Amino acid sequence: MAVLKHYLCAALILIQFVPDLLAASDSSCPALAGVPGTPGHNGSPGRDGRDGRDGFPGLKGEKGDPGIGAQGPPGKMGPAGLIGPKGEKGNSGLPGGDVQHTLTADVKYLTERLTVVEKVLGFQTFKKVGKKYFVSDGLVANFENAQIFCSDAGAKIALPRNEDENKVLVSMNNIPKSMFIGATDKEKEGLFVDMDNQPLTFTKWRTNEPNDYKDQEDCTVAEITGGWNDVPCSAKVNVVCEL
Protein backbone atom coordinates (compact mmCIF):
# COMPACT_ATOMS: atom_id res chain seq x y z
CA MET A 1 0.00 0.00 0.00
CA ALA A 2 2.88 2.29 0.75
CA VAL A 3 4.21 1.80 -2.74
CA LEU A 4 0.85 2.44 -4.34
CA LYS A 5 0.46 5.55 -2.31
CA HIS A 6 3.86 6.68 -3.48
CA TYR A 7 2.93 6.25 -7.23
CA LEU A 8 -0.41 7.93 -6.69
CA CYS A 9 1.27 11.00 -5.23
CA ALA A 10 3.75 11.12 -8.10
CA ALA A 11 0.84 10.96 -10.61
CA LEU A 12 -0.92 13.85 -8.90
CA ILE A 13 2.22 15.97 -8.98
CA LEU A 14 2.73 15.15 -12.71
CA ILE A 15 -0.85 16.14 -13.53
CA GLN A 16 -0.19 19.59 -12.07
CA PHE A 17 2.69 20.22 -14.50
CA VAL A 18 1.06 18.81 -17.76
CA PRO A 19 -0.33 22.17 -18.98
CA ASP A 20 3.03 23.85 -18.56
CA LEU A 21 4.79 21.03 -20.43
CA LEU A 22 2.32 21.24 -23.35
CA ALA A 23 2.80 24.99 -23.63
CA ALA A 24 6.53 24.59 -23.63
CA SER A 25 6.33 21.95 -26.35
CA ASP A 26 4.21 24.27 -28.60
CA SER A 27 6.75 27.07 -28.44
CA SER A 28 9.90 25.09 -28.72
CA CYS A 29 9.10 22.07 -30.86
CA PRO A 30 8.55 22.62 -34.67
CA ALA A 31 5.41 21.15 -36.19
CA LEU A 32 5.28 19.30 -39.50
CA ALA A 33 3.67 21.15 -42.48
CA GLY A 34 0.33 19.89 -43.56
CA VAL A 35 -0.92 19.18 -47.10
CA PRO A 36 -1.85 22.47 -49.01
CA GLY A 37 -5.53 22.99 -49.41
CA THR A 38 -7.47 23.84 -52.65
CA PRO A 39 -7.17 27.55 -53.66
CA GLY A 40 -10.28 29.54 -52.99
CA HIS A 41 -12.32 31.61 -55.58
CA ASN A 42 -11.35 35.23 -56.48
CA GLY A 43 -13.14 37.77 -54.48
CA SER A 44 -15.32 40.64 -55.91
CA PRO A 45 -13.39 43.71 -57.31
CA GLY A 46 -12.83 46.42 -54.84
CA ARG A 47 -14.15 50.02 -55.16
CA ASP A 48 -12.45 52.58 -57.46
CA GLY A 49 -9.67 54.36 -55.70
CA ARG A 50 -9.36 58.14 -55.57
CA ASP A 51 -7.31 60.08 -58.19
CA GLY A 52 -3.79 60.49 -57.08
CA ARG A 53 -2.44 64.00 -56.59
CA ASP A 54 0.86 63.32 -58.35
CA GLY A 55 -0.30 60.99 -61.09
CA PHE A 56 1.29 60.74 -64.58
CA PRO A 57 -0.02 63.26 -67.26
CA GLY A 58 -2.29 61.89 -69.98
CA LEU A 59 -1.54 61.82 -73.76
CA LYS A 60 -1.53 65.14 -75.71
CA GLY A 61 -4.77 65.74 -77.61
CA GLU A 62 -5.12 66.79 -81.32
CA LYS A 63 -4.64 70.44 -82.30
CA GLY A 64 -7.91 72.34 -82.45
CA ASP A 65 -9.17 74.52 -85.31
CA PRO A 66 -7.82 78.08 -85.37
CA GLY A 67 -10.09 80.57 -83.77
CA ILE A 68 -11.65 83.49 -85.64
CA GLY A 69 -10.61 86.70 -84.04
CA ALA A 70 -10.40 90.34 -85.05
CA GLN A 71 -7.03 91.59 -86.31
CA GLY A 72 -5.21 93.49 -83.66
CA PRO A 73 -4.05 97.07 -84.12
CA PRO A 74 -0.78 97.60 -86.08
CA GLY A 75 2.35 97.71 -84.00
CA LYS A 76 4.63 100.65 -83.71
CA MET A 77 6.95 101.44 -86.66
CA GLY A 78 10.34 99.92 -86.20
CA PRO A 79 13.57 101.86 -86.42
CA ALA A 80 14.85 102.82 -89.89
CA GLY A 81 17.31 100.41 -91.48
CA LEU A 82 20.75 101.21 -92.72
CA ILE A 83 21.00 103.14 -96.03
CA GLY A 84 22.26 100.89 -98.82
CA PRO A 85 25.03 101.76 -101.30
CA LYS A 86 24.25 104.26 -104.04
CA GLY A 87 23.19 102.63 -107.32
CA GLU A 88 24.60 103.32 -110.76
CA LYS A 89 23.28 106.29 -112.66
CA GLY A 90 20.60 105.37 -115.19
CA ASN A 91 20.41 106.41 -118.81
CA SER A 92 19.09 109.85 -119.45
CA GLY A 93 15.49 109.91 -120.62
CA LEU A 94 14.17 111.93 -123.48
CA PRO A 95 12.94 115.37 -122.55
CA GLY A 96 9.17 115.62 -122.39
CA GLY A 97 9.07 117.88 -125.40
CA ASP A 98 11.07 115.43 -127.53
CA VAL A 99 8.75 112.53 -126.61
CA GLN A 100 5.71 114.55 -127.60
CA HIS A 101 7.36 115.64 -130.82
CA THR A 102 8.33 112.05 -131.70
CA LEU A 103 4.83 110.77 -130.99
CA THR A 104 3.28 113.52 -133.08
CA ALA A 105 5.65 112.78 -135.96
CA ASP A 106 4.83 109.05 -135.82
CA VAL A 107 1.11 109.69 -135.89
CA LYS A 108 1.52 112.08 -138.80
CA TYR A 109 3.61 109.57 -140.76
CA LEU A 110 1.10 106.74 -140.23
CA THR A 111 -1.77 108.99 -141.18
CA GLU A 112 -0.01 109.99 -144.39
CA ARG A 113 0.78 106.38 -145.28
CA LEU A 114 -2.83 105.36 -144.70
CA THR A 115 -3.99 108.20 -146.93
CA VAL A 116 -1.59 107.06 -149.65
CA VAL A 117 -2.83 103.46 -149.47
CA GLU A 118 -6.43 104.62 -149.72
CA LYS A 119 -5.56 106.64 -152.83
CA VAL A 120 -3.64 103.74 -154.37
CA LEU A 121 -6.62 101.42 -154.01
CA GLY A 122 -8.68 103.91 -156.04
CA PHE A 123 -6.67 103.16 -159.23
CA GLN A 124 -7.12 100.30 -161.67
CA THR A 125 -3.41 99.43 -161.73
CA PHE A 126 -0.68 100.03 -159.17
CA LYS A 127 2.80 98.74 -158.45
CA LYS A 128 4.95 99.31 -155.38
CA VAL A 129 8.68 99.91 -155.48
CA GLY A 130 10.45 100.91 -152.26
CA LYS A 131 8.20 103.38 -150.49
CA LYS A 132 6.69 104.58 -153.74
CA TYR A 133 3.60 103.52 -155.66
CA PHE A 134 3.11 103.92 -159.43
CA VAL A 135 -0.61 104.09 -160.26
CA SER A 136 -2.61 104.28 -163.48
CA ASP A 137 -6.19 104.30 -164.71
CA GLY A 138 -5.16 103.74 -168.35
CA LEU A 139 -5.46 107.46 -169.19
CA VAL A 140 -3.88 108.74 -172.41
CA ALA A 141 -3.42 112.54 -172.45
CA ASN A 142 -1.00 115.41 -173.11
CA PHE A 143 1.38 116.66 -170.46
CA GLU A 144 -0.90 119.42 -169.14
CA ASN A 145 -3.86 117.08 -168.66
CA ALA A 146 -1.55 114.49 -167.14
CA GLN A 147 -0.48 117.06 -164.51
CA ILE A 148 -4.11 117.90 -163.71
CA PHE A 149 -5.12 114.24 -163.45
CA CYS A 150 -2.29 113.32 -161.08
CA SER A 151 -2.69 116.49 -159.00
CA ASP A 152 -6.41 115.85 -158.50
CA ALA A 153 -5.46 112.42 -157.12
CA GLY A 154 -2.99 113.98 -154.67
CA ALA A 155 -0.06 112.68 -156.71
CA LYS A 156 2.54 113.74 -159.28
CA ILE A 157 3.53 112.54 -162.75
CA ALA A 158 5.76 109.50 -162.23
CA LEU A 159 9.53 110.13 -162.13
CA PRO A 160 11.95 107.23 -161.59
CA ARG A 161 14.80 108.06 -159.17
CA ASN A 162 16.85 104.91 -159.82
CA GLU A 163 17.11 101.92 -162.15
CA ASP A 164 14.69 99.74 -160.16
CA GLU A 165 11.98 102.38 -160.27
CA ASN A 166 12.57 102.89 -163.98
CA LYS A 167 12.08 99.16 -164.66
CA VAL A 168 8.86 99.02 -162.67
CA LEU A 169 7.51 102.14 -164.39
CA VAL A 170 8.29 100.79 -167.87
CA SER A 171 6.52 97.51 -166.99
CA MET A 172 3.27 99.52 -166.75
CA ASN A 173 3.52 100.73 -170.37
CA ASN A 174 0.60 100.21 -172.71
CA ILE A 175 -0.30 101.26 -176.22
CA PRO A 176 0.98 103.84 -177.08
CA LYS A 177 4.25 102.36 -175.83
CA SER A 178 5.55 105.41 -173.99
CA MET A 179 4.50 107.41 -170.93
CA PHE A 180 5.19 110.84 -169.53
CA ILE A 181 7.68 111.19 -166.71
CA GLY A 182 7.83 114.25 -164.48
CA ALA A 183 10.78 116.10 -166.05
CA THR A 184 10.87 119.13 -168.37
CA ASP A 185 13.24 121.84 -169.63
CA LYS A 186 10.57 124.46 -170.15
CA GLU A 187 12.36 127.01 -167.99
CA LYS A 188 15.81 126.58 -169.49
CA GLU A 189 16.55 124.60 -172.63
CA GLY A 190 18.72 121.56 -171.98
CA LEU A 191 18.31 121.74 -168.19
CA PHE A 192 15.70 119.16 -167.20
CA VAL A 193 14.22 119.48 -163.72
CA ASP A 194 11.50 117.65 -161.78
CA MET A 195 8.05 118.98 -160.87
CA ASP A 196 9.57 120.77 -157.87
CA ASN A 197 12.04 122.53 -160.16
CA GLN A 198 14.95 120.47 -158.75
CA PRO A 199 17.78 119.04 -160.95
CA LEU A 200 17.42 115.37 -161.84
CA THR A 201 19.56 112.92 -159.85
CA PHE A 202 18.90 109.99 -162.23
CA THR A 203 18.38 109.87 -166.02
CA LYS A 204 18.04 107.15 -168.65
CA TRP A 205 18.37 109.10 -171.93
CA ARG A 206 18.52 107.19 -175.19
CA THR A 207 21.52 107.76 -177.41
CA ASN A 208 21.53 111.29 -178.91
CA GLU A 209 18.71 112.36 -176.61
CA PRO A 210 17.46 114.83 -175.58
CA ASN A 211 17.82 116.67 -178.87
CA ASP A 212 14.92 119.19 -178.74
CA TYR A 213 13.79 118.29 -182.27
CA LYS A 214 12.51 121.40 -184.07
CA ASP A 215 12.86 123.31 -180.79
CA GLN A 216 9.57 121.84 -179.67
CA GLU A 217 10.54 119.00 -177.30
CA ASP A 218 10.37 120.22 -173.71
CA CYS A 219 8.71 117.21 -172.06
CA THR A 220 10.04 113.70 -171.35
CA VAL A 221 8.73 110.19 -171.92
CA ALA A 222 9.95 106.71 -170.95
CA GLU A 223 9.70 104.23 -173.80
CA ILE A 224 9.03 100.50 -173.59
CA THR A 225 12.77 99.79 -173.89
CA GLY A 226 13.38 101.80 -170.71
CA GLY A 227 15.16 104.64 -172.51
CA TRP A 228 14.09 108.30 -172.13
CA ASN A 229 13.30 110.71 -174.95
CA ASP A 230 12.26 114.36 -175.12
CA VAL A 231 8.96 114.98 -176.94
CA PRO A 232 6.52 117.85 -177.48
CA CYS A 233 4.36 118.44 -174.38
CA SER A 234 1.29 118.25 -176.62
CA ALA A 235 1.94 114.57 -177.39
CA LYS A 236 -0.68 112.18 -176.10
CA VAL A 237 0.86 109.22 -174.29
CA ASN A 238 0.15 107.02 -171.25
CA VAL A 239 -0.24 108.80 -167.92
CA VAL A 240 1.19 107.17 -164.78
CA CYS A 241 1.23 108.97 -161.42
CA GLU A 242 3.33 108.33 -158.34
CA LEU A 243 2.33 108.34 -154.66
Own/partner pairs for 7-14, CB < 8 Å, 24+ apart?
none
Distances (CA, A) of 118 to 112, 169, 172, 218: 10, 20, 20, 33
Radius of gyration of the chain (CA): 68
pLDDT, residue 28, reads 46
The pLDDT value recorded for residue 118 is: 79
Q: What integer pLDDT is reported at residue 14 of this predicted model? A: 53
Q: What pLDDT does residue 220 have?
A: 97
Report pLDDT for 22.
Answer: 46
Task: From residue 107, give the alpha-carbon distance in Å to each of 12, 117, 137.
Answer: 159, 15, 30
Amino acid identity of 77? M
What's residue 166's pLDDT? 97
Helix (H) / strand (E) containing 98: helix 96-120
Residues of the chain with pLDDT under 70: 1-37, 39-41, 43, 45-46, 48-58, 67-72, 93-97
Asked whether the beta carbons of 195 and 156 are under 8 A apart, the reply is: yes
Domains of the chain: 119-242 (3.10.100.10)
pLDDT of residue 25: 44
Positive/negative CA dihedral, 196, 197, 201, 205? positive
Q: Is 134 helix (H, G, I), strand (E, B) or coil?
A: strand
Question: Which residues in 200-238 are b (16+ Cβ under 10 Å) and which e?
Answer: beeebeeeebbeeeeeebbbbbbbeebbbbbbebebebb
Contact status, residue 209 vs residue 217, Cβ threshold 8 Å: no
- What single string gives the DSSP state of each residue in 59-91? PPPPPPPPP--PPPPPPPPPPP-PPPPPPPPPP
Task: Pick the closest to residue 133 from 125, 145, 141 (CA basis).
Answer: 125
